[in-house]
Amino acid sequence: MSISTIEQLESRISLTEEEKAWKEGPLSLPLLITDYYMDLIDASDENDPLRRQVVPSSRENSEAVLEDPDPLAELPNSITERLIHRYESRAAFLATDICAQYCRHCFRRRFTGNMQGPATKEETSLAAEYLRKNTQITELLLTGGDPLTLSDSALSEMVGILRQARPDLVIRICTRMVAVQPSRITDSLINVFKAFKTAPFYLMVQFNHPRELTEEAVSACAKFIDAGIPAMNQSVLLRGVNDSVPVLQELCNKLVFARIKPYYLFQGDLVSGTSSFRVPLEKGLEIEKELRRCLSGLAMPVYAADLPQGGGKVPLCGSYIEGFENGIWTFRTLEGEKRSYPDPQ
């Protein structure tokens, strides 16, 4: 049974004054924490990094300067109520607004948790028709909400409609379920995706802290991987959660060991009510610099920001180019030394 009220939450942990003062409102999300995830939280530590991700606070009831409910401009780029086409080659389909657990740093809070439920067959068919006509789209993000909150049969029907229109479309399964309720990942769920002999699926997960990579979570991801569905991780850089080199170094190395590629480390979006989670950009760049020194290329994620007003994703990293003169480039190494690289004549 999941925790969905403050009273239930207080029976498990002692709330701080900021946590007690939280009120669900226009800027906030519902309270919902799975029992599985709650058991991972250290109840004696009010600064526990897992607790910080899921226990609401009054800080999310206020809007900081330049924050926006839709900072990525998804609404003006929506083709239908459920289909977003913001990048030329990629689109996102909002399978549902429901999640198994609501993360307090969620960037799509203008949609998530509004209890609209799964997309209807008609909404899915409208999206499929658009995808059929727009062949420049090569990848579809099946997202939300969390698509894995759908039943196996509902998910099979939805994917079937999309696949019938575009069997050549790579589909990314965007989910946090493996981290918050790994028991959902059953053999029958995996068989839903294995049944489609079409373009590949990719599993896009979000682990933000190494303690989330439990034996159960790793086993859940392994079911996808063993079925031929590669797994990639998209972390968010979160203040008080993972904004340190040792934590991210451990997380990324554990991900690689679990056959999950660290893909992105996102700077926090300018979403209304999330300012307390955002890490100063200067600190983020210093973390990126140090991670690049201590992680392998396989374990190194791309530190990136999704720019406001629909500006798109851009990588955030310091330049190692010092200058160019007489056909010779000068570089700075990760240790700060200089090296020369001649252009071909």
- Is 103 catalytic? The answer is yes
Q: pLDDT band for position 224 (50/70/90)?
A: very high
Please give the pLDDT value at position 318.
79
Domain ranges of the chain: 64-315
- Is 313 catalytic? The answer is yes
Please give the pLDDT value at position 47.
96
Determine the average pLDDT of the residues in 79-101: 97
Please tell me the distance from the alpha carbon of residue 117 to that of residue 233, in angstroms, as a whole number: 26
Please tell me the distance from the alpha carbon of residue 25 to that of residue 22, in angstroms, as a whole number: 9
Please tell me the pTM assigned to this model.
Answer: 0.94
Share of the chain above pLDDT 70, in %: 100
Determine the average pLDDT of the residues in 241-257: 98
Q: What is the pLDDT of residues 286-333, one digit of tens each?
A: 999 999 999 999 999 999 999 888 888 999 987 888 889 888 898 888
* Catalytic site residue from 86, 132, 184, 261: 86
- Is 87 catalytic? The answer is yes
* Catalytic site residue from 12, 59, 68, 87: 87
45: Cβ contacts below 8 Å, ≥ 6 apart: 51
- Is 269 catalytic? The answer is yes
188: Cβ contacts below 8 Å, ≥ 6 apart: 152
Side-chain-facing half-sphere of 144: CA atoms under 13 Å: 28
**Mean pLDDT score of the chain:** 95
Please give the pLDDT value at position 333.
86
* Higher per-residue confidence, 251 vs 28: 251
- Is 174 catalytic? The answer is no
- Is 332 catalytic? The answer is no
Would you say domain 64-315 falls under CATH 3.20.20.70?
yes
Cα torsion 118, 119, 121, 127: sign: negative
Please tell me the distance from the alpha carbon of residue 128 to that of residue 164, in angstroms, as a whole number: 8
Determine the average pLDDT of the residues in 56-82: 92
Q: pLDDT band for position 179 (50/70/90)?
A: very high
